[in-house]
Amino acid sequence: MGTKESIKKGLISAGTSYTVKRLSGDVSGEYLDFEPNAQVTKPFIREFFIETLMPYDTTIRLGDVVKFDTTGDYYLAMHKTASILKNAIILNDGVFYKANVSGELLRPSGEGSFNSDYRQTTSWEIISGETGSVCYALQTEPLHGIELQSGQELGDIGIENHELYIPSSFGVRINDRYQTASGEYYKINSVKKRRFPEIDTVLIEEDTRF
């Protein structure tokens, strides 16, 4: 048995099964190994960033949403690097960010109406991506510059400082709305497309539009 097949067999024996969430159909039956990022001491980083080992023939692509079958946790595939031996890929190293929110990405349709208070309201259309209309994301304060202190909760930080990491397949735009499953509304203020391949970094604020 070759090295790459031996590694794959080891992952099946001792690893974690996962499902890649895709609009065209979920992909399951694969295994990976993971551990927290050991290079940092911040509790938030240790909770939401993991390093992974994936088989040589993994179907995971950058920007994919990956569900761990045992825990039900969702992750964003942020980095993927092939390990090569004798001119052949034997495994893939990766970095995943844990998705701590889910919801829908909405865009003004250009049409509107008036409510009972004679205020003009906005009509919204749902934007779909690789995972359909459900958009999994990581919501956090900016990871460059300001850092969460030990024991500090996201709610203690001004919402104007928050970022969302969203799969690029949704094509998020400025002035879009992100509506979380728990009922919050956020306005997209800016979109950074070059920080990570296939993952957009967006700055958000509370959305008070009608």
Question: Of the candidates 140, 170, 168, which has an alpha carbon nearest to the alpha carbon of residue 154?
Answer: 140
The whole-angstrom separation of Cα 88 and Cα 84 is 5
Lowest mean pLDDT among 36-45, 59-68, 190-199: 36-45
Burial 2-16 (b: 16+ CB within 10 A, else e): eebeebbeebeeebe
**What are the tens digits of pLDDT across the range 98-156?**
999 999 999 998 766 665 665 677 899 999 999 999 999 999 877 654 444 434 443 44
- Which tokens go with 75? 């992750």
| Spatial contact of 65 and 76, defined as CB atoms under 8 Å apart | yes
pLDDT for position 45? 72
**What are the tens digits of pLDDT across the range 48-94?**
899 999 999 999 999 999 999 999 999 999 999 999 999 999 999 99
**What are the tens digits of pLDDT across the range 160-177?**
568 999 999 999 999 999
| Residue with tokens 């825990």, as numbered in its chain | 71
SS3 159: helix
CA dihedral 167, 153, 207, 116 (to 10 degrees): 130
The CATH code of domain 3-98 reads: 2.40.10
Strand partners, 113: 121
pLDDT for position 109? 87
- Where do the domains of the chain lie? 3-98, 101-206
Identify the architecture of domain 101-206 in CATH.
Answer: Beta Barrel (2.40)
4 versus 36: the higher-pLDDT residue is: 4
| Spatial contact of 62 and 38, defined as CB atoms under 8 Å apart | no
pLDDT for position 86? 92
